[in-house]
Structure 1
Amino acid sequence: MIWLTWRQFRTQTLLAAALLAAAAVYLLITGTQLRHSYSADLLSCQTQSSQYTCAGLLNGLQTQYNGPLDLLELLVMATPALVGIFWGAPLIAAELERGTHYMVWNQSVTRGRWLAVKLAAIALASIVTAGVISLLMTWWASPLDTMSGNRFGTQAFNARNVVPLGYAVFAFVLGVTLGLVIRRTLPAMAATLAVFIAVQFLVTIVVRPNVMPSTTITMPINQTTMSQAARFDRSQAVTGPVTIDLPTPAGSWGLSESPALNSAGQPIPTSEVLTCWNQMISRGPLVIKGGNKPFGPLGACLAPLNLHVDVSYLPADRYWPLQWIETALYVALAALLAAFCFRRIRRSS
């Protein structure tokens, strides 16, 4: 059975190996260049007296690599889906469609053993494929991840470390399951893509933010906190809310942020901040330095109002537990689907 599985799957294996080799060459070459540029910029920062010059250098490096970063992340995120479509869906559907299952399932090898060998061998190949591309991507992007400090972003989280392995084994078994149920290859491939995307969307939006307890802190609005604010939005209507993006602790995942609240915990209307806002605008246009807007003076003006913002976030140390929990979730779903396949194949004709 192992030899037969290799004979049937060797073309896909060799193609995947060739694509991985090409990706590895590209990532190793460009990753080395990225690391060299990052080290040079850090060395230049140490000799610069201005923090804005240093921030400008690092921002420039991020801008230079943002395009390749987005494309590579999409490639890693697409790998499990491609595994499900081209390796999983045709595994049984193609046999059923061609009618070759009558011969295969009436040999000395039982249906259960046939399916077990197929699932084990190709699931292992799926894990290895996703693991290699994820490892290369994690290594390549590590300087950019260090600069951004945002490991919880959807693309960054889904394309790094161990979760792509869970995605790959789930997508593969999902494809096998849908192929067994639908019994036609192309519809099974389309259904695999649709269901895989739907599951990833639900897990990312619904499960991931709620699977671990979050931390909520109250941040006062004053000169210190406002000097770190990324955004200050006041409503066009004087009765509308005021929104302020205050930073969460380094490396954390910001989940939610309240509008500006007064000491009683009630949202304040825009009319209450207009005086301070107009005073800041009267001093001249806002000039961005080092990527930060000078909201400090606005915060000093607003401080006597005793305003605050409630911020909910996941601390940075929740990253790895969240990676392992999500990986385990996808592996568990794959195991349930595999159990369904073993039960279903015994009843198939």
Structure 2
Amino acid sequence: MIWLTWRQFRTQTLLAAALLAAAAVYLLITGTQLRHSYNADLLSCHAPNAQYTCMGLLNGLQTQYNGPLNLIELLVMGTPALVGIFWGAPLIAGELERGTHYMAWNQSVTRGRWLAVKLCAIGLASIVTAGLVSLLMTWWASPLDTMSGNRFGTQAFNARNIAPLGYAAFAFVLGVALGLLIRRTLPAMAATLAVFIAVQFLVTVAVRPNVMPSTTTTVPINQTTMSQAARFDRSPQDTGPVAIDLPTPAGAWNLGETPALNSAGRPIQTSEVLTCWSQLLSKGPVVVKGGPPAGFGSLGACLAPLNLHVNISYLPANRYWPLQWIETALYTVLAALLAAFCFRRVRRVS
């Protein structure tokens, strides 16, 4: 049975191996170049008074590799979906569509054993493929991840470390289950893609931010905190709210911020900050990224007597690995439930 599985699956295996080899060569070459540039830029940071030069170099490095980073992340995130579409969906649907299941399931090998060998062998290949792609991606992007400090972003989280292994296991068994239900290959492939994307969206948006308790902190608005602000938005209407993006602890996942609040916890109105805002604009253009850290500092100093603050909800950086394990376990459990359904359903196929 194992030999037969290899014979039927060897074309896909060899194609996947060739694509993995090509990806590994590209990522190893460009990853080495990225590390060389990153280390060279870090050396310039040790020179006296090189703070702003260092920031400019590192920002330039991020900009240079931002295109390849996004493309590779999307390819890694797409690997589990491709596994489900091309390896999972045709596994049983193809047999049923061609009618070869009559011969395959009426030999000395029982349906249960046939399915067990297929799920274990091809499922393991799916997990190994996703794991190797994720390993290469994690290694390649580590300098950029160190600079950005954002490991909780959707693309960064879904394309790194162990999470893609759970995605691949789930996508493969999902394809098998839908193929068993639909009994036609192309519709099963389309349904696999649609359901997998829906589950990924649901888990990313609704489950991941709420699976672990968040931390809420109150950040006062003053010269120190405003010098690190990334954004200051006032409403066009005088009665509208004021939104400020203040920094969270290093490496944390910002789940949300309130508008600027007064000491009573009430959102302030735009009219209350217009005087300070006009004073800031009178001193020239505001520079936040790539420039002096003053940014909105003078605006913060002007607003400090108003005793304003922002409440920030976030997950600390040390929640990253627990989230990776929890999400991987969740998808693994879903895959196990779908596999149990397949074993139950395959006995009834005629």
Taking structure 1 as the reference length, the TM-score comes to 0.99
Q: How many residues align?
A: 349
Q: Which residue in the other structure is 2:198 paired with?
A: 198
Q: How does 1:197-236 map to 2 (within 5 A)?
A: 197-236=197-236
Amino acid paired to 1:85: I
Q: Which residue in the other structure is 1:331 paired with?
A: 332
Over the aligned positions, Cα root-mean-square deviation in angstroms equals 0.9
Q: How does 1:95-244 map to 2 (within 5 A)?
A: 95-244=95-244
288-297 or 123-132, larger mean C-alpha shift: 288-297
Percent identity at matched positions?
85
Q: Which residue in the other structure is 1:345 paired with?
A: 346
CA distance in 2, matches of 1:147, 1:183: 48
CA distance in 1, matches of 2:198, 2:171: 12
Structure 1 residue 290: Cα displacement: 2.0
1:191-217 alpha-carbon deviations (Å, 9 max, x no partner): 000000000000000000000000000
Structure 1 residue 330: Cα displacement: 0.2
Amino acid paired to 1:52: Y
Amino acid paired to 2:338: L
Structure 1 residue 257: Cα displacement: 0.2
Would the aligned equivalents of 1:48 and 1:54 in 2 still touch at CA under 8 Å? no
CA distance in 1, matches of 2:116, 2:165: 19
Would the aligned equivalents of 2:288 and 2:296 in 1 still touch at CA under 8 Å? no
Would the aligned equivalents of 1:223 and 1:297 in 2 still touch at CA under 8 Å? yes
Structure 1 residue 284: Cα displacement: 1.7
For the residue of structure 1 that corresponds to 2:46, the secondary structure is helix
Would the aligned equivalents of 2:253 and 2:316 in 1 still touch at CA under 8 Å? yes
Amino acid paired to 1:25: V
Structure 1 residue 48: Cα displacement: 4.5
1:37-63 alpha-carbon deviations (Å, 9 max, x no partner): 000000011125131111000000000
Would the aligned equivalents of 2:263 and 2:307 in 1 still touch at CA under 8 Å? yes
For the residue of structure 2 that corresponds to 1:347, the secondary structure is coil
Would the aligned equivalents of 1:51 and 1:290 in 2 still touch at CA under 8 Å? no
CA distance in 1, matches of 2:251, 2:187: 42
CA distance in 1, matches of 2:163, 2:303: 44
1:212-260 alpha-carbon deviations (Å, 9 max, x no partner): 0000000000000000000000000000000000000000000010000
Amino acid paired to 2:327: E
Determine whether 1:284 maps to 2:314: no
CA distance in 2, matches of 1:240, 1:265: 16
Q: How does 1:1-150 map to 2 (within 5 A)?
A: 1-150=1-150
Amino acid paired to 1:238: D
Would the aligned equivalents of 2:93 and 2:182 in 1 still touch at CA under 8 Å? yes
Taking structure 2 as the reference length, the TM-score comes to 0.99
Q: Which residues of structure 1 form unaligned runs of 5+?
A: none
CA distance in 1, matches of 2:289, 2:254: 24
